[in-house]
Amino acid sequence: MTALKPLLITSGEPAGVGPEICATIAAGSLANTLNRPLVFLGDQRLLEERAQLTGASPGWKVIQDASQANSAGNYLIDIALQYPSRVGKPDTKNARYVLDLLDLACDECLTGVAAGIVTAPIQKSVISPLVPHFQGHTEYLAERCGQPGEVVMMLAGGGLKVALATTHVPLSDVPKVLNQVDLERTLRILLDALRKYWGRSAPHVLVTGLNPHAGESGTMGDEEIRIITPVLARLQAEGHLVSGPYPADTLFQPRFLKNADAVLAMYHDQGLPVLKYASFGEGVNISLGLPILRTSVDHGTALDLAGTGKANTGSLVSAIECAHQMDKHSRS
Ligand SMILES: NC(=O)C1=CN([C@@H]2O[C@H](COP(=O)(O)OP(=O)(O)OC[C@H]3O[C@@H](n4cnc5c(N)ncnc54)[C@H](O)[C@@H]3O)[C@@H](O)[C@H]2O)C=CC1
Ligand SMILES: NCC(=O)COP(=O)(O)O
């Protein structure tokens, strides 16, 4: 049987836990369990040094490009650091290195060599001097794919899927950036993805309000009346199962969630604390609406744990498994 296309795993911020959780996974049997090539991207010496600190012995074959990963197993594309990296001390001098990993992975997916990207965490503040207004992988990959702004961040874990109407914007800007056009596009991307990757023929999405008590009939904010309700009405008129806006503080109850496929929250800290409470360490961050498949961990660089061997690999394993399943599902 022909091997599945490889998944590319970017090892992320060199000072964080990314390199060691990648090396730990490459020391295990996940690639063989999935029967798929897993190609790790990063500086070979760095990853193997971090592996030593944590007691892992990654068994990878070093290759030049992903097309050489033609059978199940672990592979490494060695991309040199620009500057020596110290555990727990991110340095802007390695920002280009971090982006090189992403650029290569993205391009290998766009050309069809690889099935998808799984990203270990990056330190966003390190990239900002090189890429002004850098927000994260999600927005960066959308730009690289030639569709800036046309992407949705969704986290999945603990039986929940929570997508976001806005991502990494200051809280004070959320009401300014929320608008009907973007919200409608976000919902359409989310509905399409639930059909394409999770096989939901008629996905049901619950949508939160922005304000306390979903605005309390306009007395505590009017974004529900001006922006959210008209968008929901348009989609409902087309037959889509979207409902809301619901007060976010009481929406996340089993009796409301049991018939829903996903929740759309209006901003980062409205939706993600619930998700992370339910599943931190096993959750997956998924970029929807891109021409490539991309999943990621639910955690950050954990600089306090880097090099200690205490970082949990659960979320990276979940992200790899999720990308594997999404790829298989979208092809079936
Ligand atoms: N996908 C990505 O690239 C993400 C990147 N980040 C970035 O990471 C940096 C640090 O963010 P923080 O808010 O401090 O969040 P963080 O997730 O790095 O750390 C929060 C807490 O969770 C713990 N933790 C994180 N990962 C863990 C793991 N694998 N095992 C056990 N414990 C773990 C940390 O030790 C810390 O106590 C920031 O620059 C942020 O932007 C944050 C989230 C996702
Ligand atoms: N809170 C999620 C997060 O920070 C991950 O962002 P991204 O790098 O996946 O865009």
pLDDT, tens digit (0-9, with 9 covering 90-100), for 23-38: 999 999 999 999 999 9
* pTM for the full predicted model: 0.97
pLDDT tens-digit map of 285-309: 999 999 999 999 999 999 999 999 8
Say if the ipTM goes beyond 0.95. yes
Residue minimizing CA distance to atom 4 of ligand 2 = 136
123 ligand 2 Cβ < 6 A:
no
What is the distance between the alpha carbons of residues 282 and 152, in angstroms, rounded to a whole number? 20
pLDDT tens-digit map of 106-157: 999 999 999 999 999 999 999 999 999 999 999 999 999 999 999 999 999 9
**Is the model's pLDDT at 3 over the cut of 80?**
no
Residue showing tokens 């990757």: 197
Q: Are 140 and 131 a contacting pair, CB within 8 Å? A: yes
Give the residues across from 204 on adjacent strands: 241
- Please report the pLDDT score of residue 162 as a whole number: 98
Q: Which of 34, 330, 4 lies closest to 199 in space, CA to CA? A: 330
297 ligand 1 Cβ < 6 A:
yes
283 ligand 2 Cβ < 6 A:
no
The closest ligand to the CA of 121 turns out to be 1
What is the distance between the alpha carbons of residues 274 and 296, in angstroms, rounded to a whole number? 18
Q: Ligand 1 centroid to 218 CA: how many Å?
A: 37
**b or e along 55-67 (b: 16 or more beta carbons within 10 Å of the residue's beta carbon)?**
ebebebeebeebe
Binding positions for substrate are 137-138, 276, 285, 294
**Is the model's pLDDT at 254 over the cut of 70?**
yes
Q: Ligand 1 centroid to 245 CA: how many Å?
A: 30
pLDDT tens-digit map of 80-104: 999 999 999 999 999 999 999 999 9
pLDDT tens-digit map of 229-251: 999 999 999 999 999 999 999 99
- Please report the pLDDT score of residue 138 as a whole number: 97
Ordered strands of the 73-78 beta sheet:
61-63, 73-78, 37-42, 7-10, 116-119, 294-297, 284-288, 152-157, 160-164, 262-265, 204-208, 241-246
Instruction: Give domain 152-289's CATH superfamily.
Output: Isopropylmalate Dehydrogenase (3.40.718.10)
312 ligand 1 Cβ < 6 A:
yes
Select 1-150+291-332's CATH number: 3.40.718.10, 3.40.1190.20, 3.40.50.2300, 2.60.120.330.
3.40.718.10
SS3 187: helix
pLDDT tens-digit map of 177-221: 999 999 999 999 999 999 999 999 999 999 999 999 999 999 999
> Would you kindly state where each structural domain of the chain is located, as residue ranges?
1-150+291-332, 152-289
The closest ligand to the CA of 282 turns out to be 1
Q: Do domains 1-150+291-332 and 152-289 have the same CATH topology?
A: yes
Mean pLDDT for all residues in the chain: 96
Binding positions for a divalent metal cation are 168, 213, 268
